């Protein structure tokens, strides 16, 4: 990536690739796109990462359209290769749901399928050469009169903590909803206050409520945090390695990037599987009346 005929420094190259295309409100009150990293920081928490939102939405629509088209054309006698592929994915999801979810809720399998496929697609963006889409974004920006160097475009949505936290918080809210719906508000409250320490003595049981609530509340809040950071951390590290490889001489780039890309396919699938598995486990915990 260059500005004019001069290559930007390695540090600037890395920062540029890790910076989102941010839209938000500037300190003086006007709204617009950030042209520098400092401008993006000045927008604060409420800025929108247009690249993350755009790519996530596009991949989600692609997933829904593809599954919808195949679903409309399903044939029992002579299924197509695409139909067999989708059916194998659905069987895989159903098997995991049956193995980890003991309640009865028709939402869990579709939820697990959606989360798994969507995250696989977002993670797979990591396998696209790191300069291709940012360079295309720069050319589009230059066409509209922008300085190419000040056009940011972060390709992999799951390397943005806003995306992973959004997914994890959505799952967490569903977990809270079903915990209260299945166990009742009183049952959910008792789960937070009467465990892990308990006593048959009523007075001691009351004294233990603050300690129980502290431990259970920390455990509860840790779920969406660990859920999101696990996915973000692994994908961010993988993307960073691709960026560092891109700084090497051309002949060395292909020597290292191809083996890493092949290995990274495993990470792409594994991280989506882990996220999906935790979704199923958390939903099972929400439906469990054992306590």
In the residue annotation, 234 being an active-site residue is answered as yes
The catalytic position among 47, 56, 162, 234 is 234
Q: In what order do the strands lie in the sheet with 48-49?
A: 31-33, 22-25, 48-49
Which of 42, 100, 105, 230 is flagged as catalytic? Answer: 230
How many angstroms separate the CA atoms of 1 and 135, rounded?
7
Q: List the catalytic residue out of 226, 228, 257, 288.
A: 226
The two three-digit tokens of residue 194, written as one number:
């009467």
Estimate to the nearest angstrom the gap between the alpha carbon of 227 and the chain centroid: 9
Q: How many other C-beta atoms lie within 10 A of the C-beta of residue 79?
A: 15
Q: Which residues are registered as beta bridge partners of 8? A: none
Q: Residue 78 and residue 80: Cα distance in Å, rounded?
A: 7
Nearest residue to 236 (alpha-carbon basis) of 163, 138, 167, 168:
163
Output the CA–CA distances (angstroms, integers) from residue 256 to 48, 102, 123, 156, 214, in the order listed. Answer: 34, 45, 20, 20, 48
Burial of 179 (0-12, 13-18, 19+ CB in 10 A): buried
Instruction: Assess contact for 63 and 124: CB atoms under 8 A.
Output: no
Separation of alpha carbons 243 and 130, rounded Å: 6
Residue 230 annotated to the active site: yes
Show which residues are catalytic. 226, 230, 234
């Amino acid at each position: 990536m260059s500005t004019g005929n001069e290559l930007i420094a390695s540090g600037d190259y890395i920062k540029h690739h890790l910076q989102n295309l941010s839209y938000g409100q500037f300190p003086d009150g006007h709204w617009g796109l950030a042209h520098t990293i400092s401008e993006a920081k000045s927008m604060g928490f409420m800025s929108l990462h247009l690249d993350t939102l755009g790519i996530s939405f596009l991949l989600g629509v692609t997933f829904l359209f593809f599954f919808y088209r195949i679903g409309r054309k399903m044939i029992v006698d002579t299924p197509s290769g695409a139909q067999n592929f989708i059916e194998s994915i659905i069987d895989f999801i159903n098997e995991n749901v049956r193995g980890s979810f003991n309640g009865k809720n028709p939402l869990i399998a579709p939820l697990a399928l959606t989360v798994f496929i969507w995250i696989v697609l977002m993670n797979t963006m990591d396998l696209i050469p790191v300069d291709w889409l940012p360079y295309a974004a720069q050319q589009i920006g230059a066409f509209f009169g922008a300085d190419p160097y000040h056009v940011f475009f972060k390709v992999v949505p799951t390397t943005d903590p806003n995306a992973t936290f959004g997914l994890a918080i959505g799952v967490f809210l569903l977990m809270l909803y079903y915990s209260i719906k299945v166990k009742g508000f009183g049952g959910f409250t008792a789960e937070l206050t009467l465990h892990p320490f308990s006593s048959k003595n009523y007075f001691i049981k009351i004294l233990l409520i603050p300690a129980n609530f502290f431990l259970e509340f920390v455990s509860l809040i840790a779920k969406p945090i660990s859920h999101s950071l696990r996915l973000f951390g692994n994908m961010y590290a993988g993307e960073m390695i691709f960026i560092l490889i891109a700084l090497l001489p051309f002949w060395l780039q292909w020597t290292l990037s191809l083996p890493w890309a092949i290995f990274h396919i495993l990470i792409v699938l594994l991280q989506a599987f882990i996220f999906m598995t935790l979704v199923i486990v958390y939903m099972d915990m929400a439906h469990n009346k054992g306590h």
